[in-house]
Amino acid sequence: MEKKVLSEQSLYYGDVAMPKGWDIDRDKLSQDILSYSFTNKEFPFSKTWDMLNTYIKDHVGVEHNINLVNKNSWGNMYKPGQLSKPILDVDPVDLRNSPDFTMLYGVNVNNCWIKIYYEDNRRKGRSWDMELVNNKFIIFPSTNMYVISNEQKDSLNFVQTITYEYI
């Protein structure tokens, strides 16, 4: 008996393990997310953002043989106790121009949870929860809907999102 996998939904997650002295400047990203949240401008390009983005692309490439190309990027901040509305990063009527993968990075977070919804054949509406901690990332297919919750009452949570397509 043989088996053929036609499709799979894989999540990739881990720490952004930068060389010593080259850590991601998460305060800079927090400031960029803050200013981005109050303007209609595109998310600002910065050396810090580029270091994060390059790290993700390099390491997903070398560890999982997936070549990622940037689609879009933005940042969000979540108030204490806030639960985001369900987020879907693909446009169902424009899949051609939609991303393949969504990457979430914990910029400055505390008790921040990601719930990713998926379908397992006829079993719909299943979900997988993961805590997003500082300097940790998670990548998952952009076709999966997700919500982000800030489950504490004291501070804002800052989350960086970058979407990719693979070639």
Partner 1 sequence: MAHFAKLGVNSKVIQVLTLDNKDMLNADGVEDESVGQQYLQLHNNWPAEMWIQTSYNTDKNQHNLGGTPLRGNYAGIGYIWDESNQIFWRPKPYPSWVKNTSDASWHSPIGDPPSLTSEQESENNAATHKWEYVWDEDAYQADNTTGWSLTNQLS
Give the binding range for partner 1 (CB under 8 A) out of 16-24, 89-97, 117-125, 141-149. 16-24
- Check: CB of residue 130 under 8 Å from CB of residue 116: yes
* 34 lines the binding site for partner 1 (CB under 8 A): no
**3-state SS assignment for residue 54:** helix
Q: In the complex, what is the shortest distance from the CB of residue 128 to partner 1, in angstroms, rounded to a whole number? A: 27
Return the structure tokens found at 13: 């997650």
DSSP category for residue 126:
E
Task: Answer yes or no whether residue 133 interacts with partner 1 by CB under 8 A.
Answer: no
Q: How far is the CB of 51 from partner 1 (least distance, A)?
A: 5
Contact with partner 1 (CB under 8 A) among 62, 94, 96, 97: 62
Taken in order 76, 78, 83, 85, the sign of the CA dihedral is negative
18 binds partner 1 (CB under 8 A): yes
Report the run of H or E that residue 51 belongs to, with start and end: helix 47-64
Binding site for partner 1 (CB under 8 A): 17-19, 21-22, 47, 50-51, 54, 58-59, 61-62
